[in-house]
Structure 1
Amino acid sequence: MIRPLLMCFVLCVVYGSSKPTEKKSRVHDEEPLSHLEHDDNKNHDYDHEAFLGQDEAKTFDHLKPEESKRRLGIIVDRMDSNKDGFVSEGELKVWIKNAQKKHIYNSVEHQWKDFDANGDGVISWDEYKNVTYGSYLESPQMDSGYNYSVMMLRDERRFRVADRNGDMIADKEEFTAFLHPEDHEHMKDIVVQETIEDIDKNGDGFIDLQEYIGDMYTSEDAEEPEWVATERQQFSEFRDKNKDGKMDKEETLDWILPSDYDHAEAEAKHLLHESDADQDGKLTKKEILDKYDMFVGSQVTDFGEALLRHDEF
């Protein structure tokens, strides 16, 4: 039985909650540019994935510096869409967003063949259900720590929302909305609903302060990490906008899918700021190549030049 993306997410949440000092974030803001920590004082791994895309970054990690720079030079030429010899903040932002979309496309393509059982180019709910929950459907009483019946109903509900024409058969666009709901306007309500269901322990349809903190931090230790106090303040000052002590659907939406922050734009500004040696607000190829470790990095391994090279390079 193949576990769905949603099930993997649940497992990650369960695992993450066992680490009381680590902060867990539910903020989506579309498909993340990277799941890694963004801390330039430690490394530039976040920047690599944001700039290259999470799939391509893995390839660059194993290239020698000379090859990384050569490929980066080709990328710079592609980014310069108006061919003026410079890469602007806007061109950087477009490139990063396209890398993000490519990751989503690859994710869907990778899973598509697993669920399109009859190879007809669409995925019905029955196909998805049978592949994902086949073992459970054959033996509903099987011993398990997971409530598969609830998970299946939740998946079906999301599938119905993603299925715009209501035929319970998903084409590529609808299946993409099912797997990556945070990237689709018509899926935002279901993302909010699922989030509240996950956190709302007393079942009142809201997220209070105790539930909000409990979702990110669980520990029997007497002393809380400093970030917990900060989150308490964030809840009181920013999350709970109407000051009634809890977050409703609209406030939860503002929290997990903020509309006033663009990660691709922020990353473009960051890369520009760190690489713009002459401070003219745009980047030359030389300025980018001089900072190649920030854009693409290099970790020389035994694979070296033996790695397969993509045709575009």
Structure 2
Amino acid sequence: MKYLLVLTLISIVTGAALGTKEHVPPVKKPHEEQGEHSPHFDHEAVIGSRKAEQEFDEMSPEEAKQRLTLLVAEHDPNNDQIITKEELVEWLMHSFKNLDEEDAAEKMTEEDVIDVDDKVSWEEYLKSQYNYEPGDIEDFKKLRETNKDNEQMKETFELLVLVEDDEARFNAADANHDGMLNKEEYFAFHAPLEHVQMHEFEIKRVMKQFDKNNDGSITKKEFIGDITDKERVIAEEEQFKLYDTDNNGKLDDGETRKWVIQDSRVAATEEAEHLLNMADDNKNGELTLAEIVDHYDEFVGSQATDYGRHLEDEL
């Protein structure tokens, strides 16, 4: 009876947890919502804070333009009132880091629930994310040892893989090995690709996930995995070709590293090109302060643009 109860409870948690696992290494938030470019992504990317983005949505157009002018000045190092493409990319990369830090701070507050000491223990993380105690996980591991081929427990064991992966990442981020994550360590745990000390762990994590035959490389078949949708398979094949630079049909250590360890520059460059396309009126490859302010609704929005968005949703 105890095991049946365990399986029932764990299946609920597993469904939510497994849904968060991605086929590819962590990347920036998607630019699109329902097939269209997301204005919220643009605004967050420019402002660098979801909280501040919400504040802009409450501003009048005049106030939003004033705040945007100040924001431009912060990212205009030579004060020429011109934002070049490279300056815009650096601006967006800085914003992405701020967004990650904001997310991490919010998550840390949610997970620091037992003693509220501005640190997160593994016990606190496990309780917050999975609603289990360490002892529960040990019980599930014992179940796996004796029932590894039991199909009824498949979801249980899949959940254990997630938990073990999180625990390994937790330990890798715990720089002083005190069993707790402080603010800096938690940020490394939350956004490992932004922290060099976490890169080797990420490489090993991906190899463990994809290198099924343990030969130290990832074949195209392993890269695609269990994806069956034709369009997604084609997209994955194109991605594989992009990183298989020697065209030998597999990703070696260096190629895998380039695939996994991607900083935010790629996403920032794509977003910069989008904003340039929207606001560079004279098509000279850079943005003047006037162009940015004229297109303020593309960069930060305001009460007026937020109202218009809600009106479109209602229609």
User: Partner letter of residue 31 of structure 2?
Assistant: L
Structure 1 residue 294, shift from structure 2 partner = 2.3
Matched, 1:110 2:110: no
Secondary structure at the aligned position of 1:299 is classed as: helix
Contact persistence 2:121–2:181 (CA under 8 A): yes
Contact persistence 1:162–1:177 (CA under 8 A): yes
Q: 2:31 aligns with which of 12, 30, 36?
A: 36
Match of 1:256 in 2: 260
Match of 2:279 in 1: 275
Matched, 1:229 2:229: no
Match of 1:93 in 2: 89
TM-score normalised to structure 2 length: 0.70
Match of 1:189 in 2: 200
User: Partner letter of residue 48 of structure 1?
Assistant: H
Matched, 1:207 2:214: no
The 5-angstrom pairing of residues 59-98 of structure 1 reads 59-60=55-56, 65-98=61-94
Distance in 2 between residues matched to 1:43 and 1:108, nearest whole Å: 22
The 5-angstrom pairing of residues 287-306 of structure 1 reads 287-297=291-301, 298-300=305-307
Contact persistence 2:120–2:180 (CA under 8 A): yes
Secondary structure at the aligned position of 2:172 is classed as: helix
Higher helix share: 2
Structure 1 residue 38, shift from structure 2 partner = 9.1
User: Partner letter of residue 166 of structure 2?
Assistant: D
Match of 2:24 in 1: 26
Contact persistence 2:194–2:263 (CA under 8 A): no
Distance in 1 between residues matched to 2:192 and 2:155, nearest whole Å: 26
Secondary structure at the aligned position of 2:30 is classed as: coil
Change (3 A) 1:190 1:95: same
Secondary structure at the aligned position of 1:12 is classed as: coil
Deviations 1:157-194 (A, max 9, x none): 21222122333332211111111111111211222222
Deviations 1:51-95 (A, max 9, x none): 223614455456665554344334234333443333343443333
| Residue identity (%) | 31
Consecutive unaligned residues in structure 2, runs of 5 or more: 1-8, 10-14, 144-152
Match of 1:310 in 2: none
Secondary structure at the aligned position of 1:119 is classed as: coil
Distance in 2 between residues matched to 1:60 and 1:149, nearest whole Å: 42
Match of 2:42 in 1: 47
Consecutive unaligned residues in structure 1, runs of 5 or more: 2-6, 14-23, 305-313
Change (3 A) 1:131 1:270: closer
**Cα-Cα RMSD:** 4.0
Matched, 1:124 2:121: yes
TM-score normalised to structure 1 length: 0.70
User: Partner letter of residue 296 of structure 1?
Assistant: V
Contact persistence 1:63–1:300 (CA under 8 A): no
Distance in 1 between residues matched to 2:118 and 2:37, nearest whole Å: 45
How many residues were matched structurally? 280
Q: 1:161 aligns with which of 160, 168, 172?
A: 172
Distance in 1 between residues matched to 2:238 and 2:266, nearest whole Å: 23
User: Partner letter of residue 50 of structure 1?
Assistant: A
Identify the structure with bigger relative contact order (alpha carbons < 8 Å, sequence gap 6+): 1
The 5-angstrom pairing of residues 142-153 of structure 1 reads 145-147=155-157, 148-153=159-164
Distance in 2 between residues matched to 1:238 and 1:248, nearest whole Å: 13
